[in-house]
Amino acid sequence: MKISALFAAPLLLALLLISTAQIPKPKPLAQTLRESRDRKRVLLIAAPNAEQADFKTQKALLAAHPQELADRDFLVLELLYDQISATDRQYLMQRTGLKLPTFSVVLIGKDGGVKEKSQRPIPPADLFGTVDKMPMRRAEMRRK
């Protein structure tokens, strides 16, 4: 029994190192937005932390509409200020004009432009209505 205890700590440490080594490092926000251009509409949900009430509300509102999000080519990014890099926080403020550390929702169109900003959760019907009025979305609907 004592022998196995001697091996348990190094084994656990080795497993921890292996498992953390396999976790991919998140891409910088600027790179993600560049790669999404012309392919995805990006919805940034930014909050101080995951426990923030408006953050939870926005997530719950969107969770009820996965097909509508997919139909409109949405990429939803949750940006928690206590978990993103200083570089991403700075980029977020410069790119979108957000004032940290407040809750914010930002819709970025496929053209890379900021289409809507709100410091309150956006109801899905309003979000989809905004997107469905866009010329690029109208062209997509005609093609389908």
| 112 in any annotated domain | yes
Q: Which pLDDT score is estimated for 20? A: 47
Is-above-0.85 flag for pTM?
Answer: no
Q: Inform me whether the pLDDT recorded for 116 exceeds 80.
A: yes
| 63 in any annotated domain | yes
Residue range 102-130: mean pLDDT, rounded = 97
What residues make up the domain containing 113? Answer: 27-143
| 19 in any annotated domain | no
Distance of alpha carbon 69 from its chain centroid, rounded? 13
| Percentage of residues in the chain having pLDDT higher than 70 | 83
Instruction: Give the model confidence (pLDDT) of 76-109 as tens digits.
Output: 999 999 999 999 999 999 999 988 899 999 999 9
| 71 in any annotated domain | yes
Per the structure, how many domains does the chain have? 1
| 127 in any annotated domain | yes
| 135 in any annotated domain | yes
| 36 in any annotated domain | yes
Q: Inform me whether the pLDDT recorded for 141 exceeds 90.
A: no
The domain spanning residue 90 has which CATH number? 3.40.30.10
Residue range 122-131: mean pLDDT, rounded = 97
Q: Which pLDDT score is estimated for 128? A: 97
